[in-house]
Chains A and B, each alone.
Chain A
Amino acid sequence: MRLVATVAGLALALTGLNASAETIRIAIGTQDTTINCATGGLLIRELGLLDKYLPHDGKYKDAHYQVEWKNFTSGAPLTNEMVAGKLDFGAMADFPGSFNGVAHLDAGKRSLFISVLSGSVHGSGNGIVVPAASKVQSLAELKGKTISVPFASTAHGMLLRAVAAQGWDPQKDLRIIAQAPEIAGSALRSNRIEAHADFVPFAELFPNRGFARKIYDGAQANAPTFHGALVDADYAKKYPEVVTAYLRASLEADRLIAAEPEKYSELIEKVTGIEAEVNYLFHGPLGLQTRDLTWKPEYRQAVATSIDTLKLLKKTDRGLDTDQFIDDQYIRAAFKQAGLDYDKALTNYQPLPLKANDALTGKPITDVSRLAQIWVRGEDKVRHYASPEAALGALAQLEQEGKDIRAIYAQAADSGIKLLANQAWFVRNAKGELAAFLLKDQAEQYAKAHGGEALDFVSANQKLVAQR
């Protein structure tokens, strides 16, 4: 008995020495409402994915993990807590991520940008909206007006780029003021602001709630945008296996939502209150953004651009070595552990593909460029249609049956982005075929070039019904 106690005591002392019995904190800062961060936070937390991958061998044999989750609505307070050493991981966009890097340097530490979670190499996800009652149909009409934007966000970068593309001076030709999304929501609702630029999911969420209309997609500015994950560099050096485990959990979350986007869109709604149809718009097949964990050159550039933009605005004079700041060794290790090919994923620019049959004909949809979808409330799968006119035909039928429609989606004929069809513009050709567009202008130009007439959703719908 005494021998056992002695041995046990000795073992304890030894493990204490080589630190394997220590408690390892894993404190992760998430942005639940920024729904494209879901695979770096919300889904890992809700599905308990981290436990599956945390190491329990080698130096972690007796390690005890203490996982802490904290939710934020923007990157700034999250960075604040990371710098203060209260968080080890954090998820945020390119712009705030760069500040995260700079703030760590200022405090005599370092942080690493370890993976992308979701983004768009073209810039979708960011967008500009106007109040629903506004007459404005395009950015060009906003000259001389006031646009609000969350300061120093990825949407701010997009707005400046969009303004520059118009050939305007951001100081003179319009007034850009700072406004947080939650405040902009009230301001749009009560017509207090002429336009508002914002990041995921607000440029879709506000229109979906009916009080705003999207007039500009980030893809028009061609300014890559993404949300990704960061870690404290010292922490990563001390526990590289834990960092890899976090990213494996992220890869698993990505696999799960890719397989069942409707189910996990509902889960995101349950946690954040952001409607599942908006979540599906981003996370579903051919979605507005593409979940992507690899460091594509466009995303590396987005980090560099954000710092340069703020230097231009004279809001910062600090530089950041992006080659050091962006560290892909952990995500590469996670891919390897999961049996996936990082380099293959790196060169894959395709959005999440769709393999589905047309809900009317039952035939497989081979050409997804004219895809349209309807989500009926209460159904756990979105219905897919080969064309907008087929979807609108089915819509009339569904409405006759008294079904509540959650959302109708169409893919834009020009940019290919997924649109909320009830706010989109359509061109109807002689054969009655519809092509969807985000903007009135785009639809009219297309009609001029290819024949047909430009219609909004309601008239397109009426024409179709009248035709029968």
Chain B
Amino acid sequence: MTRDLKRWPVRLVSLLACLLFWQVAASVKLDLGLLTFTYVPTPQAVLEAAWQLLTSSTLLAHLGSSLSRVFAGYAAAALLGVALGLLIGRSKWAEDTLLPPLEVLRPIPAVAWIPLAILMFPSSELSMVFITFTGALFPILLNTVHGAEAVDPRLVASARSLGAGRWAILREVVLPGALPSIVTGLAIGMGTSWFCLVTAEMIAGQFGIGYYTWESYTLQNYPDIIVGMLLIGVLGMGSSALVKRLGAFATPWYRTRRAG
């Protein structure tokens, strides 16, 4: 823990250095030929825009809408991803029947799902949740499959020789063995779910950070766009960290092994 504390200043300095570079680059209108900061708003302009959003009455509505959409999609993806992942990881038959269609669906970008999401779900809200769900599902699924497949077959064999049944093996051997990998998948999935938020909130909108960002684009309010981007970044980072922290509590053996 103390080692962790010592690392925080470095992390903060890194963030501040990025901010400083941005401020300088934007204020001197840095032009590197391929990359130009000429039209990029300065952090100060963004800060003012953020302050305006913070003091407006709509921030809570934006946050609430987005959080509920992301977490609903994420929760569904976590349940389905882990369940399917364990099944596919443990059963060759399930792998052959379930994985091919899922692999076909996996590369499809969220934005391409929009028209179908609208046609298939009864409300825009559910269509949006579906989009954040597609964002989160595949990292969780694939990491779970990987974790379940990577469980040492000798562990499974010895458990079986000690008389463990299918469920007991799953509960006592496979799940704990795959858990670190599942936690990684859950943390990545949290990020990718946020990743799809702007796409989801393009469907219809009034509130939501993705919608706010998109609306700012329509209005050509560049500082507001960056406020939206940063909010998504911070919320995504925060919720990923939360998932990691919860995961660490669930896998104490893994934590100690790593620390040691």
Contacts and interface: CB of A to CB of B under 8 A. Distances in A.
Interface string A169-207: 000000111111011001101101100000000000000
B100 interface: no
Interface stretch (A102-110, A214-222, A330-338, A455-463): A102-110
Interface in A54-91: 74, 76-77, 79-80, 83-84
Interface stretch (B66-74, B180-188, B204-212): B204-212
B217 A186 contact: no
Contacts of B203: 179, 183
A112 to B, nearest CB: 16
A168 interface: no
A183 B119 contact: no
Contact of B204 (A79, A83, A148, A190): A148
Contacts of B239: none
Nearest to A103: B220
Chain A CB count within 10 A is highest, among B206, B214, B219, for: B219
A53 interface: no
B220 A178 contact: no
Interface string B80-116: 0000000000000000000000000000000000110
Chain B CB count within 10 A is highest, among A99, A102, A178, for: A178
Interface in A106-124: 106-107
Interface in A140-184: 148, 150-152, 175-180, 182-183
B39 A178 contact: no
Nearest to A190: B119
A106 B219 contact: no
Contacts of A84: 39
A183 B38 CA distance: 34
Contacts of B204: 148, 177-179, 183, 187, 193
A382 B122 CA distance: 42
Nearest to B41: A106
A192 B118 contact: yes
Contact of A183 (B115, B123, B211): B115
A258 interface: no
Q: How large is the interface on B (under 10, 10 to 19, 20 to 34, 35 or more residues)?
A: 20 to 34
Given A183-B115, A187-B118, A99 B206 contact: no
Contact of A152 (B115, B122, B205, B219): B219
A320 to B, nearest CB: 12
Contacts of B251: none
Given A177-B204, A179-B204, A183-B118, A76 B124 contact: no
A187 B119 CA distance: 7
A152 B119 contact: no
Nearest to B120: A190
Contact of B219 (A74, A150, A192, A316): A316
A206 B132 CA distance: 29
Contacts of A99: 218-220
B46 interface: no
Contact of A178 (B118, B123, B215): B215
A304 interface: no
B44 interface: no
B124 A192 contact: yes
Chain A CB count within 10 A is highest, among B115, B122, B123, B204, for: B204
A431 interface: no
Given A84-B39, A107-B39, A151-B215, A189 B119 contact: yes
A310 interface: yes
Chain A CB count within 10 A is highest, among B205, B215, B218, B222, for: B218
Contacts of A103: 220, 222
B14 interface: no
A315 interface: yes
Contacts of B215: 151-152, 178, 315
Contact of A83 (B39, B119, B122): B39
A100 interface: yes
Contact of A76 (B38, B205, B217): B217
Contacts of B123: 192
Contacts of B158: none
A251 B9 CA distance: 65
Interface in A223-280: none
B202 interface: yes
A182 B214 CA distance: 15
Contacts of A96: 218
Nearest to B122: A192
A175 B205 contact: no
Nearest to A178: B205
B118 A80 contact: no
B225 to A, nearest CB: 10
Interface string A4-34: 0000000000000000000000000000000
A176 B218 CA distance: 16
Contact of A175 (B206, B218, B222): B206
A180 B118 contact: no
A80 B219 contact: no
Contacts of B39: 83-84, 107
B206 A186 contact: no
B205 A100 contact: no
B52 to A, nearest CB: 9
A316 B221 contact: yes
Nearest to B127: A192
B129 to A, nearest CB: 14
Given A178-B211, A190-B118, A192-B124, A315 B219 contact: yes
Nearest to A75: B218
Contacts of A192: 118, 122-124
7 contacts: A102-B220, A179-B203, A183-B202, A186-B115, A187-B118, A192-B124, A193-B204
Given A79-B220, A179-B204, 8 more contacts: A77-B217, A80-B217, A80-B220, A151-B219, A178-B214, A182-B115, A186-B118, A192-B124
Interface of B: 38-39, 114-115, 118-119, 122-124, 202-206, 211, 214-215, 217-222
Interface of A: 74, 76-77, 79-80, 83-84, 96, 99-100, 102-103, 106-107, 148, 150-152, 175-180, 182-183, 186-187, 189-190, 192-193, 310, 315-316
What 3 pairs between A and B have smallest CB-CB spacing? A103-B220, A186-B118, A99-B220
